[in-house]
Chains A and B, each alone.
Chain A
């Protein structure tokens, strides 16, 4: 108790020094909590967009289609037969929807704009791609209508708007040139440059007619009730078919992003090292400035353990206050941006153009991020302070008293 009182008194003896130490801890912890919440927000944003717009929770294609996906091989299609749907029958499966991805050329007369079309089941895709919620203007598409939803930037490139007719030219699954005139029903915006710039959607039945794929699809997207079980469900489906069945966790983009998050962990480490060096420096000053005082305490009979205790508690107070302030700061900011979102498009006009996530990043702080940030700050401060403390306490009282 006496040591604790002494430690508190010492903490306030040089308030400016204590504040500088506390602030460096607070800033480091705030930055770490902020950065981790931001990164988690980005990863969740990418995952959600990938699941909604590309892979669903499980993506089924033929093996050959998966192998040559870049070539968009329309001849590699799946018949959407009752037998096929039977393969997927399970209480765990929520929605199953066929899609056809196809490359097209657009333009008034000279077909100068390449784009990517998706033929989708409009009703089922309300739960998957959710384009009805991403409409910027106009109306959603319906089965049987030769109509399309155009990405905002694609519409801009073609200088077309709601109600305009666009001719698309493509190739059927049998490699014959084919085309259709489509009315633009709606213009959507995902905020992802690559998608808004080159994608359009048409009803599945219209796409099947256009591409000579009646009753077929090249991709089948599955949503499951519990996404965490996607791998197990995909395995169960795979047992019953020789098609390619890929859960979203194995999506190359998401795998890459997860690998990339390791790089970001290095960033946290660097932030922490900078903070550590500040703390270590302060503690070094604290300890060496008080070498004589430590010598005096030793001469008066205070044992080494008590001195270590005293100085560790002092470091702990700095760590506790700094981490608390940092956690509060980083936490409040992250939770605020979780609801408000950070609009990256405000920072640069080209920010969202080539990134696989939308321009508004909703931070994703968790209790784990907050608590681990706090504990980390506290522990690191104490551990870093122990080095100079142990050095000084090893000094002889007579030598310590002689030091300047």
Chain B
């Protein structure tokens, strides 16, 4: 009898790491997505009803609430810059020669005509701080076995009230995420097309965003030259740097 108890105990103990809770999974997701600092070059491939436009930019991010990026192509967008500090975002357009604040609902508007909003682009907060997590039955997604989780906002300041995520069991990257409004309406669908492994984490480098409120549109974000956990000069996250000539 004692042997049976020991065997069952050992079996249960050995299974424990596999029976992860939703919170543990999201912790690992957050470990992948939230970076201390980052620099990158990126391209937005915007497809609107078959018409494709490319827009290139490069930028930096630091912590949860500091980001800077500047468009480099096409020529008409060159020099357009964005700066996020805490919950405020500023935009600099060369012709205007001064920074303009983007606030409130405007942050949910399209970034440069893409399917991403300003909020989508600068979001670097931990999901655990904003959502209650419910774990659903596992599923396969994009050829990988995935944990399926449903996240419901427990704070008011979120872009999306509910998220349904298909998180890869091997990389802890949400390969697919559906973003919903409080009404239950599907707002956006995010698909990770390519993941790259860095020292301590996996990071998505090709992401497809589909704004379900627009018809026949999708945007692919391609990240290149990614450097994670670097030292970013502090003057970059200042209005003076944004408004430099």
Query: CB-defined interface of A241-256 with B at 8 Å, one 1/0 digit per residue?
Result: 0000000000000000
Contact of A180 with B96 in the complex, beta carbons under 8 Å: yes
Q: Are B112 and A175 interface neighbours, CB within 8 A? A: yes
| Contact of B106 with A176 in the complex, beta carbons under 8 Å | no
Closest residue of A by beta carbon distance from B113: A175
Q: How far is the CA of A105 from the CA of B77 in the complex (A)?
A: 19
From B31-39, B97-105, B139-147, B197-205, the one touching the partner chain is B97-105
Choose among B71, B106, B112 the residue that contacts A111 (Cβ–Cβ < 8 A).
B106
B228 within 8 A of A: no
Q: Bound complex: CA of A169 vs CA of B103, how far in Å? A: 13
In the complex, which residue of chain B has the Cβ closest to the Cβ of A168? B96
Does A212 count as interface, using CB distance less than 8 angstroms?
yes
B114: chain A residues within 8 A (beta carbon) = 175
Q: Interface size (A, Cβ < 8 Å)? A: 18
Given A171-B113, A175-B112: A180 and B100 interface contact (C-beta under 8 Å): no
CB atoms of B101 and A109 under 8 A apart: yes
Q: Does B91 contact A (CB under 8 A)?
A: yes
Bound form: Cα–Cα A202–B146 in Å: 55
A305 beta carbon closer than 8 Å to chain B: no
Residues of B near A169 (CB, < 8 A) are: 91, 93, 96, 100
Q: Which residues of A contact B138 (CB under 8 A)?
A: none
In whole Å, how far is A168's beta carbon from the nearest beta carbon of chain B? Answer: 9
Contact A109 B100 (CB under 8 A): yes
Q: For the complex, is A334 an interface residue (Cβ under 8 Å from B)?
A: no
Contact of A179 among B71, B95, B113 (CB under 8 A): B95
Chain A 108-142 per-residue mask, 1 if CB under 8 angstroms from chain B, else 0? 01110000000000000000000000000000000
Give B102's nearest chain A residue, CB to CB: A111
Q: Is the CB of B100 within 8 A of A176?
A: no
Q: What 0/1 pattern do residues 86 to 111 of A give for CB contact below 8 A with B?
A: 00000000000000000001000111
B80: interface (CB < 8 Å): yes
Cα distance A169–B55 in the bound complex, in angstroms: 19
Whether B102 contacts A167 by the Cβ 8 Å rule is no
Q: Which residue of B lies closest to A172 (CB)?
A: B76
CB proximity to A under 8 Å, residues B17-40:
none
Q: Could you tell me the distance between the alpha carbons of A174 and B114 in the complex, rounded to whole angstroms? A: 10
A181 and B100 form a contact (CB under 8 A): no
> Once the chains bind, are A167 and B100 in contact (CB under 8 Å)?
yes
Taking a contact as CB atoms closer than 8 A, the residue among A105, A176, A180, A181 that contacts B113 in the complex is A176
* Contact in complex: A175, B93 (CB < 8 Å): no
Report yes or no: A177 in contact with B98, Cβ–Cβ below 8 A: no
Quick one: given A111-B100, A111-B106, A179-B100, are A174 and B93 in contact (CB under 8 Å)? no
A306: Cβ under 8 A from any B Cβ: no
Q: In the bound complex, do residue A177 and residue B95 qualify as a contact, i.e. CB atoms below 8 Å apart?
A: no
Interface positions of A from 5 to 22, Cβ below 8 Å from B: none
Min distance, Cβ B53 to any Cβ of chain A, angstroms: 6
Q: Is the C-beta of B110 less than 8 angstroms from some C-beta in chain A?
A: yes
Bound CA span A179–B96, Å: 6
Which of B111-168 touch A at CB < 8 Å?
A: 112-114
Question: Is A303 at the interface (CB under 8 A from chain B)?
Answer: no
Query: For the complex, is A178 an interface residue (Cβ under 8 Å from B)?
Result: yes
Q: How far does the Cβ of B121 sit from chain A's closest Cβ, in whole Å?
A: 13
Smallest CB–CB gap between B87 and chain A, Å?
Answer: 13
Contacts of A210 in B (CB 8 A): 95
Chain A nearest Cβ from B68, distance in angstroms: 16
Q: Is the CB of B95 within 8 A of A176?
A: no
Interchain CA distance A167-B93 in the complex, whole Å: 11
Chain A, residue nearest B93 (CB): A179
In the bound complex, residues from chain B placing their C-beta under 8 Å from that of A171 are 113
CA distance A109 to B90 in the complex (A): 9
Residue of B nearest to A210 (CB): B95
> Are the CB atoms of B95 and A174 closer together than 8 Å?
no
Give the complex CA separation of A175 and B112 in angstroms. 6
Query: Which of A174, A177, A181 has a CB less than 8 Å from the CB of B53?
Result: A174
Task: Determine the distance from Cα of A169 to Cα of B71 in the docked complex, in whole angstroms.
Answer: 17
CB < 8 Å neighbour of A180 from B80, B95, B101: B95
A181 → chain B closest CB, angstroms: 6
- Which 9 A-B pairs give the minimum distances between C-beta atoms? A175-B113, A179-B96, A179-B93, A110-B101, A176-B77, A109-B101, A167-B96, A176-B112, A180-B95
Q: What are 25 pairs between A and B in contact, CB < 8 Å? A: A110-B100, A110-B103, A111-B101, A167-B100, A169-B91, A169-B93, A169-B100, A171-B113, A172-B76, A174-B76, A174-B113, A175-B110, A175-B114, A176-B71, A176-B77, A176-B112, A176-B113, A177-B80, A177-B91, A177-B112, A178-B93, A178-B95, A179-B93, A179-B96, A212-B76
A110-B103, A169-B100, A210-B95 known; 12 new pairs, CB 8 Å cut-off, are A110-B100, A167-B96, A167-B100, A169-B93, A171-B113, A172-B76, A174-B113, A175-B46, A176-B77, A178-B95, A179-B95, A180-B95
